[in-house]
Every structure is written in C-alpha cells, then in structure tokens.
Amino acid sequence: MIPKVKADKLIKIYFHVCEKFENELQFQCSRFSNNNTPEFTDQEAMTIYLYAISQEQRVRIKQIHTFADEYLRSWFPKLPSYAAFNYRLNWLSEAFKHFAGSLLVDFKPDNCSEQVNLLDSLPIITCSGKRTGKVARGITDKGFCSTKSMYYYGLKLHALAFQRNKCLPFPEQLLITPASENDLTLFKNAWENLENRTFYGDKIYHNVDYFNNLNSSKNSLMLTPVKAIKNQSEWDKQFERAANDLFSTCVSRIRQPIESLFNWLIEKTDFQRASKSRSTAGLLLHVYGKIAAAFIYLVF
C-alpha cells in the first residue's frame, strides 16, 4: 500500500495518461495483431513508470518493477514479469516522446518570458570515450563535453528555455541529437527563424557575423560571454579586460538557471547516465520517459 497523498497522485497521473492516450498516444503504438487489447494495458505501464520515477525516485526499470510488484499489485493486478514489463516500456518509447512534448505545451507556466530564451546542452552518456559505443549506433556517436573535459559516446539534449523570474526556466523546446552535433549548428537548423528574441548562450554560440545578420533579419539578439580574440595584443587585452569581464559575468548569471534546470533533471531522474540502455528503443525510453517523469512531478 502507498499513502493516501501519493495514491491521489497515482490516480491523477493515470487519468491524465488515459486522456492523452485516447486522444493522441494510441496512434504512436498501434498494434496490428490479435493481441491488440492486452490485459495489462499500455496506459498502466506508462503510469507505473511515470509514478515510480516522479514520486518514488526509482530510476531503473528493475527498481520500478520491483516497487510496483511490492506496493502497487492491488492497483495493477495484471502486472507482468520484469522481462515483459521492460519489453512493453521499450515498445512505448515513441508514445513517451509525444507525451513529454504535450506536457511542455499543456502546462507552460504563466510567468514565462516570451522574448528571453536561455540556451544550453547536456550530454547523455552511454559509455566513456575510451571504449567503443555499441548501443543505438544509428542515433549515437562520439562527442566531447567541455564542462567535464571528457569524450563520450551517446546523445546530446539541447534546450531552448523560457526565462522565468526567480524560478527555474521552462523548456520551450527540447531536441535530441548525436553527441557530436555542434550547438551552433543545431541552432541554425532549428531556431534561427525565431523572431524578436534575446538569446543567452555560452561561448559556443559566439559568431559575430551570423548573429549580426540574424539581428537585422529577425530582430533576434544573441548574447554570450566575451570570447578571446586570437593574436590580440596584450595591451588591447588589458585595456578591454574590465568591461569584458563585467559583461561576461552578467551574461553567465542570467543563463545560470538553465544549468540548474539540468542539475534538477539529473537529480530527479539520473538522466545523464544511460549506460544501462541496451537498444535504440531503450535509449529513447530513457530520454523521453525521464523527461516526462520529471515534468509530471511538477504538474502533479
């Protein structure tokens, strides 16, 4: 049994999943076989996964199944074996992707700034760069994380987030790419058409000519910490040092909350470590399922 407060949250999550499943998610995991109405439903599998991570912080599928078997058996009497439960969740990876996206749209806070965006990326590590990545080779590759000064195999989560006063920023868009994808290249492909925005990013977005053109055409401004100029004289460096340091500090302080958002995501779901994933579907479940579970925590 679980406490009444948590039982209420379990019910709310289940009803929300059922509503979304009826309207949208069922089309992402349709079955074209005689077993298209299993006794243990997809809605129940998603509910257990989301509840166990968001409310109990059971972040591994084995932990989730063990918890459900011990404490939620009266709620879900048809709970299958661990292997069947794991297979079902992997089957639902695309449904989790759409569900996570719907949470960002449906529950956007009122205090989001529509004109100010924070940008950053987070590595999702399947194995260290010293080894050869063998999981989900179709969507992963080798990249470098400058924050940790390490090479790794895996994916990269790119976040475009609304600034919120004295609160964690709220994602406007979250995109997944192979680990080698450059943040600036992703911006050019996905977000360069956004108009009337002020973006705050790190030094990877420092491209004066490109963003001057963007400011002229879209009225969108990119602010980053000052990047050192190659072969600049020592006199020029010292002359501009005070102003550059002050400007860089201001930009870094404004964009710092998006790093807090990533830290919160890692703390709640162990999001960054994906070394237990053994297939493409399993890796996608790890990414989109844990994003959904983290924001379900905020909603319910």
Q: Which of 112, 111, 113, 143 is nearest to 126 (CA)?
A: 143
Degrees to nearest 5, angle at CA 87 with 83 and 88: 120
Return d(Cα 157, Cα 183) in angstroms, integer: 10
Reported as a single tens digit per residue, the pLDDT across 232-281 is: 777 667 767 888 889 999 999 999 999 999 999 999 999 999 999 989 99
CB 241 within 8 A of CB 91: no
Given a cut of 90, whether residue 231 has pLDDT beyond it is no
Residue with tokens 């002359």: 239
Reported as a single tens digit per residue, the pLDDT across 54-104 is: 999 999 999 999 999 999 999 999 999 999 999 999 999 999 999 999 999
Return d(Cα 151, Cα 133) in angstroms, integer: 12
pLDDT band at residue 118 using 50, 70 and 90 as cut-offs: very high
pLDDT at site 32: 64
The number of residues making up the chain comes to: 300
- For residues 44, 46, 48, 54, the Cα torsion angle rounded to the nearest 10 degrees is -150
Reported as a single tens digit per residue, the pLDDT across 205-218 is: 999 999 999 999 99
Residue with tokens 């989790």: 96
Half-sphere exposure of 261 (CA within 13 A, CB side): 28
Tokens of 185: 């290249």
As a whole number, the mean pLDDT across the chain is 92
Neighbours of 120 (CB within 10 A): 24
Q: Tell me the domain boundaries of the chain.
A: 4-91, 111-275
